């Protein structure tokens, strides 16, 4: 088994004394086997091995005792051990537990600058996952089962014992005198996967004793068919996509099978369980909100939302909702840096402008003759008003955004030039009537995004 694990790792990463590997370690049979194999490889290569244990805190003292046994095993074998415990009252859900585990593994990988995260999924896990997806309803992508490698926020997640059955794992542990934890919740068949493992799979084995291999063969066939389909779908996707956004109307005219394919692919890419009902929920949401000018959002995981407007459909993450809180006071013309991301320049102008920039430009020519310094650069605040260009009266900035079809999640990131509560310039969108130039504009205002490592 050690040589197999080694060869799988070498397919995706370099193994050396400078490598670091995080192993998800519950202390159960599968993870005990994997950690022991990796410990032997660590002694051979000299890489840093870290066992990452997440206490779900569902079984009180039993969970705590399992954590202590994991710690003791790592201390006895000189393996770095790191652990975390979920807050009391965390819902005992398979989906939530999975999300919490991977979030923990990612934090560990960041802390140790790991080359890869290793999880102890087996052939038996894979077969049970495929069967679970068939029962829940899935497409060809779901039939591919658990992948040998996947991406987790820029880190590789590798499953190096995926070709071994649970029987192989048990034989290894017994042979090497390992004493894994026996999680009592694994026997609780109220959890769907436990029910499949303890009741459904044994019943199927009465019909086909080789069911695990049959399901893995099905996964291989599905993977081959998907390669052909994906090549065809790439051509279609190019017709409905601008950057990372789908053109909503172009998406909706696709036939139902192709729409399902794209939604499934989107969910799979973001590690979201893609049942048929979930896929249909997203398709229905897109259809129901296809006429929304400012857009609607639907939560699809703890930190992802689907945004749909009459123009675009795309995913939002927590980063999209971060508000820029900084305020920059402009006392006089000059060049200023705002939020470390933007450069604002206000300079004198003496040239006659033959053609003024469009409203959506980040350049404005104005007199500022009726506007006195200081001015403020910031994002929106409660109570903001604006006198739109060409209008006599003023309106709330919120209504202005709605009239301009600006999505809610974009509004807190739009840079504004203000005089107290009155907005004079909405960058990339439009200017106030108070910035109208009558003759040669005395000033040029320019907003530029600063290019750096975090803003390529």
| pLDDT tens per residue, range 341-391 | 899 999 888 788 878 888 788 898 888 777 888 999 999 999 999 999 989
A 10 A CB-CB count for 422 gives 15
Q: Could you tell me which residues come within 8 angstroms of residue 93 by beta carbon, excluding any fewer than 6 positions away?
A: none
How, if at all, do strands 363-366 and 375-378 pair?
Answer: unpaired
Are 303 and 343 within one domain? no
pLDDT tens profile 145-160: 999 999 988 899 999 9
Percent of residues, the chain, with pLDDT higher than 70: 98
Are 130 and 153 within one domain? yes
For the cut 70, the answer to whether the pLDDT of residue 456 exceeds it is no
Are 179 and 304 within one domain? no
Separation between Cα atoms, residue 400 and residue 123, nearest integer Å: 57
Q: Could you tell me which residues come within 8 angstroms of residue 31 by beta carbon, excluding any fewer than 6 positions away?
A: 23, 24, 25, 119, 120, 180
The distance of Cα 323 from the centroid of its chain, to the nearest Å, equals 19
Residue 251 CA: distances (Å) to CA of 64, 135, 222, 237: 50, 28, 25, 9
Phi, psi of 177 (to 5 degrees): 55, 50
Are 334 and 315 within one domain? no
pLDDT at 455: 40
Does the residue 422 lie in any domain? yes
For the cut 90, the answer to whether the pLDDT of residue 409 exceeds it is no
pLDDT at 452: 56
Separation between Cα atoms, residue 430 and residue 409, nearest integer Å: 18
pLDDT at 350: 79
3-12, 71-80, 212-221, 405-414: the lowest-pLDDT one: 405-414
Are 166 and 47 within one domain? yes
Higher-pLDDT residue of 54 and 60 is: 54
pLDDT at 453: 45
Q: What are the residue ranges of helices labelled H in 276-334?
A: 276-288
Separation between Cα atoms, residue 403 and residue 293, nearest integer Å: 9
* Mean pLDDT within 36-43: 96
For the cut 70, the answer to whether the pLDDT of residue 33 exceeds it is yes
* Mean pLDDT within 24-30: 93
pLDDT at 269: 84
* Mean pLDDT within 436-443: 82
Are 52 and 197 within one domain? yes
Separation between Cα atoms, residue 168 and residue 163, nearest integer Å: 10
For the cut 90, the answer to whether the pLDDT of residue 398 exceeds it is yes
For the cut 90, the answer to whether the pLDDT of residue 394 exceeds it is yes
* Mean pLDDT within 110-126: 95
Percent of residues, the chain, with pLDDT higher than 90: 61
Q: In which domain, by residue range, is 250 found?
A: 243-320
pLDDT at 454: 41
237-241, 272-276, 339-343, 422-426: the lowest-pLDDT one: 272-276
pLDDT at 92: 66
pLDDT at 181: 82
pLDDT tens profile 247-270: 999 999 999 999 998 998 899 888
Does the residue 214 lie in any domain? no
| Last-in-domain residue among 269, 286, 320 | 320
CATH number of the domain encompassing residue 195:
3.40.50.620
Does the residue 233 lie in any domain? no
Are 310 and 427 within one domain? no
Is the alpha carbon torsion for 95, 315, 320, 147 positive or negative?
A: positive
For the cut 90, the answer to whether the pLDDT of residue 217 exceeds it is yes
| Last-in-domain residue among 286, 320, 354 | 320
Are 15 and 107 within one domain? yes
CATH number of the domain encompassing residue 273:
3.30.465
Are 338 and 303 within one domain? no
């Amino acid at each position: 088994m050690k040589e197999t694990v080694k060869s799988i790792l070498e397919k995706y990463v370099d193994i050396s004394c400078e490598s670091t590997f995080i192993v998800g370690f519950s202390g159960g049979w599968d993870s005990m086997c994997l950690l022991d194999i990796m410990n032997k490889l660590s002694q051979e290569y000299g890489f840093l091995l870290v066992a990452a244990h997440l206490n779900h805190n569902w079984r009180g003292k039993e969970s705590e005792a399992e954590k202590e046994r994991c710690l003791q095993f790592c201390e006895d074998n000189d393996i770095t051990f790191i652990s975390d415990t979920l807050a009391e009252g965390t819902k005992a859900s398979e989906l939530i537990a999975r999300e919490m585990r991977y979030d923990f593994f990612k934090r560990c990988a960041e802390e140790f600058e790991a080359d890869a995260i290793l999880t102890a999924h087996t052939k038996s896990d894979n077969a049970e996952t495929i069967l679970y997806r068939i029962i829940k309803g899935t497409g060809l992508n779901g039939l591919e089962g658990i992948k040998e490698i996947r991406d987790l926020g820029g880190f590789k997640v590798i499953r190096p014992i995926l070709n071994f059955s649970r029987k192989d794992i048990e034989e290894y542990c017994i042979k090497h005198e390992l004493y894994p934890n026996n999680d009592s919740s694994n026997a609780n068949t109220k959890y769907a996967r436990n029910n499949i493992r303890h009741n459904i799979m044994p019943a199927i084995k009465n019909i086909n004793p080789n069911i695990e291999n049959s399901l893995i063969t099905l996964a291989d066939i599905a993977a081959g068919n998907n390669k052909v389909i994906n090549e065809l779908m790439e051509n279609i996707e190019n017709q409905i996509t601008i950057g990372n956004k789908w053109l909503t109307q172009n998406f909706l005219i696709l036939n139902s099978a192709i729409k399902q394919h794209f939604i499934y692919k989107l969910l799979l890419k973001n590690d979201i369980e893609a049942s048929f009902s979930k896929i249909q929920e997203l398709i229905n949401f897109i259809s129901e909100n296809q006429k929304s000018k400012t857009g609607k959002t639907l939560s699809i995981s703890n930190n992802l939302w689907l945004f749909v407007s009459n123009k675009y459909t795309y995913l939002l993450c927590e980063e999209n909702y971060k508000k820029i809180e900084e305020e920059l006071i402009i006392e006089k013309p000059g060049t200023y840096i705002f939020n470390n991301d933007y450069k604002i320049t206000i300079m004198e102008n003496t040239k006659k402008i033959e053609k003024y920039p469009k409203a959506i430009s980040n350049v404005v020519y104005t007199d500022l003759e009726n506007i006195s310094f200081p001015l403020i650069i910031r994002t929106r605040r409660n109570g903001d008003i604006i006198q739109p260009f060409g209008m006599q009266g003023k309106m709330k900035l919120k209504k202005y955004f709605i009239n301009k079809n600006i999505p809610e999640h974009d509004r807190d990131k739009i840079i504004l030039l203000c005089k107290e509560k009155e907005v004079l310039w909405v960058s990339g969108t439009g200017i106030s009537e108070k910035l109208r130039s009558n003759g040669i504009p005395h000033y040029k205002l320019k907003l530029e995004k600063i290019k750096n490592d975090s803003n390529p």
